[in-house]
Chains A and B, each alone.
Chain A
């Protein structure tokens, strides 16, 4: 198993994909952290209120929920790209049983996904630091909580991606369906649920649950700080408004989101694993 994991790491780092997807993670997290806190409406809010707020937590949450997309795409290529260039034959000829090969891929890709998470957290924080100074992060423990939730989200999205890619196999289909789902389908489904009167059902959808892992840590901390430092009443709608940018929803606490999303990731990973064990490689 160790040998198979080592092989997967080598495969990852001997082609360009890992850094081609890391670049947008770094750029987006840094950019969101910096511009989000410095120029954005959050900064205006801060000026109006005349007090410092942990806006950096919100931007880290926001960039995490952008970056998870790249983690998922990266994971999806683990198996699908091997089918595309037909190296999957060699992979299964040199590693056995197949279940161990997919397991090794899950470990290696999740580790790199964790690396993406670290990069996102560091660069997002660095951007926030430049934008709003150290005051923008509030309590260091809060900052670490948001960061930790972000790492979990990145790893789980990568795992989901690996499983999804192993299920779909066709890399173009895997990539496009991930993108279309995240940007189009889930919002359609959510609005269908709302119209049907199931207002909280949308929070159970994968992207909403995945976004809630970090969003539902960051937003409540932010609202709490806002209440404390201004002493004013904060309407619940404020959380909803913030969730639009940060991901998550008021429906669940962060760990419920985490459980739901872990369920999705596990279902996809198990499905991809099982199918990969049986599929004919012709």
Chain B
């Protein structure tokens, strides 16, 4: 039997589909009473991980447990964990209420529960409509209603904002926060950090199937770094003096210099001492989203970042971001 802790633990989880390593040696834990964001670009292995956690995909190695046991060993699993997954469907000819009553029967909850969860997700008016006529947002709400049928202790959501309108997203955010506030567990995935910034307490960030960051969102935020962009009369000489002062600098495509981890004042003083004229300076603070791009732009950046080492990609985040664009330029809507 499970331990009722509401804790999720993933240990050494790997999965390959033929030659593709979707998830590699992934370990993290999710604690009850908080909302944990599971972040990574498209194709980084989020869905695969969540489906392994839910017993839908068999891992190549490693294990994932909910309340101390693998999903397959939970008797009446839907009363322990509810999930809203990508590409989770409904029979188009079945009404919302009948859908919920069918699955409610499987988990042994009374039929009234169907109408309760419909009310909860704001779908009461569509109870007798067939799901084939539902919008994407209504599908998401019905999927959430299904996940809540068994009044689970753990809620897992895979990119739930897809298809939800801003109002729905705001509602979901509030719902998840209050769900976690009752001491229950929420694990939610997204490919956009910005979307989750106001929803999550902790984040697990993965890139190409590997964990690159696991910790508090606040900590990540405070680790945000800044840099200075400088246009100098003699950039070569400026680089020289910066190096002597123990600083690093890189050229940008427009000819400007980027100096990380410093401010314009320090750079201006240095330039004055070296007798270099400056034509323009700009302080830049890397926001959370850029940090996220950075973390996920290479398989091993996380380790370097965590050690506080100099990251070559830091100099030109624009370049670093380009190879990410396919995956990351998605929607802007915040969560």
A52-99 with Cβ < 8 A to chain B: 81, 85-87, 89-98
Q: Per-position contact with A for B65-107: 1 when CB-CB < 8 Å, else 0? A: 0000001101111100111010111111111001101110111
CB neighbours of B106 from chain A (8 A): 3-4, 6-7, 91, 94-95
Q: Is the CB of A81 within 8 A of B54?
A: no
Contact of A3 among B90, B101, B105 (CB under 8 A): B105
Q: Are A281 and B51 in contact (CB under 8 A)?
A: yes
**Would A96 and B93 count as touching, CB distance under 8 A?**
no
How does the 8 Å CB contact mask read for B290-331 relative to A, with 1 for contact and 0 for none? 000000000000000000000000000000000000000000
B58 sits at the interface (CB 8 A) = yes
Chain A's nearest CB lies how many Å from the CB of B99? Answer: 8
A228 within 8 A of partner (CB): no
Q: Point out the residue from A4, A7, A87 that lies within 8 Å of B90, measured CB to CB.
A: A87
Assign chain A's interface to a size class.
20 to 34
B146 at interface, CB cutoff 8 A: yes
Say if the beta carbon of B137 comes within 8 Å of chain A.
Answer: no
Contact of A96 among B55, B94, B103, B149 (CB under 8 A): B55
Q: Is the CB of A97 within 8 A of B72?
A: yes
From A9-17, A41-49, A130-138, the one touching the partner chain is A9-17
A129 to chain B, nearest CB (A): 36
Beta-carbon nearest neighbor of B57 in chain A: A280
Quick check: is A278 within 8 A (CB to CB) of the other chain?
yes
In the bound complex, do residue A86 and residue B72 qualify as a contact, i.e. CB atoms below 8 Å apart?
no
Asked whether B89 lies within 8 Å of A85 as measured between CB atoms, the reply is: yes
Complex: how many Å from CA A11 to CA B103?
8
B56 at the interface (CB under 8 A from A): yes
B58 proximity list for chain A (CB < 8 A): 278, 280
Closest to B81 in A: A93
Residues of B within 8 A of A10 (CB): 98, 101-102, 105
* A7–B57 touching, CB < 8 Å: no
* A94 pairs with B107, CB closer than 8 A: yes
Give a binary string over B218-250; 1 marks a CB under 8 Å from any A CB, 0 the rest: 000000000000000000000000000000000
Q: Smallest Cβ distance from B201 to chain A, in angstroms? A: 25
Chain B residues near A15: list those with CB within 8 A. Answer: 91, 93-94
A22 to B53, CA, bound (A): 40
Task: Flag whether B6 is at the interface (Cβ < 8 A).
Answer: no
- Let me know if A282 is at the binding interface, CB within 8 A: yes
Please measure, in the bound complex, the distance between the C-alpha atom of A87 and the C-alpha atom of B87, giving whole angstroms.
Answer: 9
Q: Does B209 contact A (CB under 8 A)?
A: no
Asked if A96 contacts B56 (CB within 8 A), the reply is no
A207 to chain B minimum Cβ distance, whole angstroms, is 30
> How far is it, in angstroms, between the C-alpha of A90 and the C-alpha of B57 when the chains are bound?
14
Contact for B75 among A81, A85, A93, A96, CB less than 8 A = A96
A86 touches B54 (CB 8 A): no
Does B150 have its Cβ within 8 Å of any Cβ on chain A? Answer: yes
Please name the residue on chain B nearest to A99 by beta carbon.
B72
Task: Indicate whether B34 reaches chain A with its CB closer than 8 angstroms.
Answer: no
> A11: which B residues are within 8 A, CB to CB?
91, 94, 102
Most buried by A among B55, B56, B77, B93: B56
B91–A81 touching, CB < 8 Å: yes
Instruction: List residues of chain B with CB within 8 A of the CB of A96.
Output: 55, 71-72, 74-77
Max chain B CB contacts within 10 Å: which of A90, A96, A97? A90
Q: Which of B106-148 contact A (CB under 8 A)?
A: 106-108, 143, 146
A17 nearest in chain B by CB position? B93
Do A93 and B83 have beta carbons less than 8 Å apart?
yes
Residue B48 at the A interface, CB < 8 A?
yes
Known: A86-B89, A89-B89, A96-B55. A14 touches B83 (CB 8 A): no
Given contacts A87-B90, A96-B72, 17 further A-B contacts (CB under 8 A): A3-B107, A4-B106, A7-B103, A7-B106, A10-B98, A10-B101, A16-B93, A86-B88, A89-B87, A92-B55, A94-B106, A94-B149, A95-B77, A96-B76, A278-B58, A281-B56, A282-B47
Q: Which 4 A-B pairs have the closest CB atoms?
A: A86-B89, A7-B106, A14-B98, A10-B102
Q: A-side interface residues toward B, CB under 8 Å? A: 3-4, 6-7, 10-11, 14-16, 81, 85-87, 89-98, 278, 280-282
22 example contacts (A-B, Cβ-Cβ < 8 A) are as follows: A3-B107, A3-B108, A6-B106, A7-B103, A7-B105, A14-B95, A15-B93, A16-B93, A81-B91, A86-B87, A86-B89, A87-B88, A87-B90, A89-B88, A89-B89, A90-B146, A94-B77, A94-B103, A94-B150, A96-B71, A281-B51, A282-B56
